Amino acid sequence: MGIALLLAVVAYLLGGIPFGVVVARLHGGVDLRRVGSGNIGATNVLRAVGKGAAALTLLGDIGKGALAVGLGRWAGGSAELLAGLALAAVLGHVFPVFAGFRGGKGVATMLGVVLAAMPAVGGLLLLVWLAAAALWRYSSLAALVAAAALPPLAWWLDGRLPLVAAAGLLFGLVVWRHQDNIRRLWQGTEGKIGEKAAPSRGAT
């Protein structure tokens, strides 16, 4: 129990590393919270800074989630432990202690934890996200489609109930974090991938 709690704390702290904020500051001193959506994720980095910085942010956010769950796998953790670490890492990204508990939407970190916990599911999830992004050019819509695909894919390809339950919780968290995006998609005012950032509308 002590090891599990320690790993959960480590997973949360890893998830809380604000790669987007750090990368944007290193690439031109951009304050990511004052441009575009105000979000710390790769999509806002792309708008505010550029493709290279966005790629670094994406890799960092995926990698920290994969590392958090990978530590659990290295320790021989059960499905329950892996599910808990996955949730802890994503919650760390959404509510990071290092950034005043104002974080991102958790999509890239969700992908990272799924890749580590359920590699086949993670690989398909990545393909779903890429296909939706290429088809509609909305990062938020691609994220929502991928999140919606996660629970059935977890059930179909993995089947371990703790991980399927975690997949459902991650889907709900992503939808909750995208409420403003859903509203803008409905109104036809959501920005597309690659559009330049305007002054911040507030962290969404």
Residue 99, domain member (yes or no): no
Joined together, the tokens standing for residue 115 give 């890749």
Give 86-132 pLDDT, tens digit per residue: 999 999 999 999 888 888 999 999 999 999 999 999 999 999 999 99
pLDDT band at 43 (very low <50, low <70, confident <90, very high): confident
**Whether the predicted pLDDT of 204 surpasses 70:** no
**Which residue type, as a one-letter code, is found at position 80?**
E
Residue 100, domain member (yes or no): no
Domain that residue 182 falls in? 2-91+106-187
Residue 201, domain member (yes or no): no
Cα dihedral angle (145, 192, 135, 169), rounded to 10 degrees? -10
pLDDT band at 48 (very low <50, low <70, confident <90, very high): confident
Give 149-186 pLDDT, tens digit per residue: 999 999 999 999 999 999 999 999 999 999 999 999 99
Residue 44, domain member (yes or no): yes
Residue 52, domain member (yes or no): yes
pLDDT score, position 33: 77
pLDDT score, position 198: 56
Residue 200, domain member (yes or no): no
pLDDT band at 191 (very low <50, low <70, confident <90, very high): confident
Interhelix angle 51-74/2-15, rounded to 10 degrees, is: 180
Residue 98, domain member (yes or no): no
Q: Which residue has the higher pLDDT, 97 or 27?
A: 97
Domain count, the chain: 1
Task: Return all residues near 204 (Cβ < 8 A) that are at least 6 apart.
Answer: 37, 38, 39, 180, 181
pLDDT score, position 153: 97
pLDDT score, position 37: 73
Residue 183, domain member (yes or no): yes
pLDDT score, position 201: 47
